[in-house]
């Protein structure tokens, strides 16, 4: 008799647990659906317009030094949703430093861009390279976003030169054409090597504007303020 009653109690317990799980299942499924946030792609070759937050100087810079820039133009998805607002921060890192040489060769700084941080605290890793903002480097799509050519300045670097010995953006090959990166720094359109006894050091002033071209597609959710 005791055994039969015990079996009945066990059966009632399992039935109760099953009923509770059945009742909770719609709620759990609803919570899972709520957590599915849509992401939108920012494709490779799109250029982010940024403004440097601190000076870069080849006389002081070291490999591994980190710096930041601020997004100037917001970035939208193809259907017009805001993904990266103004005032977002782009993090960069110096990967190589070449000091100016006596044979007229200017200094240079190689940099990469590694992440974007939004004002609401959202953080996303990127793979970005330096590029200029001249219209000749790419085309503008229907949303007004600048898209660089596939091979546009993938090995560009900051090179000493320009007005008042500031800096330009140039190709990795010696004697490449310099490209303007900001009115405060000055423009250079000819060859930048061999003009003076000692080359210019790189001095990219805080506030200088330039482009960051994405090497890989990256996805963001629609931006929502914190």
Per-residue confidence band for 208, with pLDDT thresholds at 50, 70 and 90: very high
Give the three-class secondary structure for 17: helix
Kindly give, in sequence order, each residue whose CB lies less than 8 Å from that of residue 15, ignoring residues fewer than 6 positions away.
none
**For residue 45, what are its two tokens?**
């070759």
Most confidently modeled of 2-6, 93-97, 159-163, 166-170?
Answer: 93-97
Determine the average pLDDT of the residues in 155-165: 78
Lowest mean pLDDT, pick from 71-75, 133-137, 188-192 = 188-192
Rounded Cα–Cα distance for residues 201 and 196 (Å): 12
Per-residue confidence band for 34, with pLDDT thresholds at 50, 70 and 90: low
Nearest in space to 211 (alpha carbons), one of 144, 135, 151: 135
What percentage of residues in the chain have a pLDDT greater than 90?
A: 49
Please report the pLDDT score of residue 101 as a whole number.
86
Residue 25: its H or E element: helix 2-34
- Output the CA–CA distances (angstroms, integers) from residue 30 to 24, 36, 38, 39, 140, in the order listed: 10, 10, 16, 19, 41
Rounded Cα–Cα distance for residues 168 and 160 (Å): 6
Does 76 score more than 50 pLDDT? Answer: yes
Per-residue confidence band for 168, with pLDDT thresholds at 50, 70 and 90: confident
Per-residue confidence band for 187, with pLDDT thresholds at 50, 70 and 90: very low
Determine the average pLDDT of the residues in 113-140: 83
Per-residue confidence band for 148, with pLDDT thresholds at 50, 70 and 90: low
Determine the average pLDDT of the residues in 82-89: 97
Please report the pLDDT score of residue 167 as a whole number.
84
Rounded Cα–Cα distance for residues 202 and 67 (Å): 15
């Amino acid at each position: 008799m005791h055994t039969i009653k015990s079996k009945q109690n066990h059966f009632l317990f399992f039935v109760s647990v099953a009923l509770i799980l059945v009742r909770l299942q719609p709620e759990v499924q609803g919570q899972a659906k709520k957590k599915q946030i849509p992401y939108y792609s920012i494709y490779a070759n799109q250029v982010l317009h940024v403004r440097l937050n601190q000076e870069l100087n080849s006389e002081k810079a070291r490999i591994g030094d980190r710096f930041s820039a601020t997004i100037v133009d917001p970035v939208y998805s193809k259907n017009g949703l805001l993904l990266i607002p103004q005032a977002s921060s782009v993090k960069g890192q110096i990967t190589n430093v070449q000091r100016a040489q006596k044979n007229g060769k200017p200094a240079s700084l190689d940099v990469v861009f590694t992440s974007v941080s939004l004002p609401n605290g959202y953080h996303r890793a990127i793979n970005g390279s330096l590029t200029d903002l001249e219209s000749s480097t790419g085309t503008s799509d229907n949303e007004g976003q600048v898209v660089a050519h596939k091979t546009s300045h993938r090995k560009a670097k900051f090179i000493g030169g320009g007005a008042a010995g500031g800096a330009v953006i140039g190709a990795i090959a010696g004697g490449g054409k310099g490209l303007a990166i900001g009115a405060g720094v000055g423009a250079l359109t000819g060859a930048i090597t061999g003009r003076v006894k000692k080359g210019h050091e790189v001095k990219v002033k805080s506030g200088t504007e330039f482009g960051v071209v994405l090497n890989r597609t990256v996805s963001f959710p629609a931006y929502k303020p914190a």
